[in-house]
Amino acid sequence: MEPHAEVAAPSNLDRITTRWPAVGDPVQFVLRYAPAVRKYLDALLRDPHDADEVEQEFLARVVERGFANADPGRGRFRDYLKSAVRNAALNYLRGKRRAPQAAVDELQFAGPEGEQAWVAGWQRCALDKAWRGLDQHQARTPGNLFHSVLRLSVDHPDEDSEALAARAAALAGRPLRADAFRKQLSRARRLFAELLLQEVTGTLEHPTPHQVEEELIELGLMPYIADFLPDDWRRTV
């Protein structure tokens, strides 16, 4: 379960400009997207040992060589990466002794199961990155409890602000009123949405409002962002 968005001030969408950062920094790629790669390989190969082999070889190659052949002009980095992972799995199967031709044929046309695994893995990576950003913000900001209050609201959805404030106070080691908890929670949700938005746009080349919206919808992330976008956001970006 994840945080639900609420009406708040406009996001920082109009200040975001990115150029495929993961392509230029392979180590960043490994840390950020490796879980999505593994989830996709598990769905494609359906064999943990095979998935281990391909994952290790693919990630090692990325760290060593980067993405020299990547062309942002051809579309989303997510699509480029999915194709690269699928090709790595295909090459592995073709080089494997006694690999059934049916398995190779099936992988060439990875169906809905593979696509669902890829999207779910990518979504999870984006959400995890936003959570880490919220935790880092709390750690470097005295008096800030953004990560704690949002995590508590997600983990205990049936509790009211009085009960959640008591939990947060116990974690922080200092008193926290219910109204203060609600204020921190509102700001935490807003920042979480902005961090998530930054993570998504980080894999789009010169993102337009239409491309950002399309990506958020396809990844199932729009519910975390929608209420934080001003009515005229498509014209202000």
Q: Is the per-residue pLDDT at 234 higher than 70? A: no
Measure the CA–CA gap between 39 and 95, rounded to whole angstroms: 22
Measure the CA–CA gap between 205 and 180, rounded to whole angstroms: 40
The 10s digit of each residue's pLDDT in 36-93 is 999 999 988 888 999 999 999 998 888 888 776 666 556 678 888 888 898 898 888 8
Please calculate the CA angle 100-84-213 and round it to the nearest 5 degrees. Answer: 125
Among the listed ranges 31-35, 53-57, 219-223, which one has the minimum average pLDDT value? 31-35
DSSP assignments along 91-109, one per residue:
HHHHHSTT--HHHHHHHHT
Amino acid at 13: L
Q: Cα 147 to chain center, whole Å?
A: 17
Q: Residue 161 in contact with residue 178, Cβ under 8 Å?
A: yes
76 DSSP assignment: -
Measure the CA–CA gap between 99 and 114, rounded to whole angstroms: 19
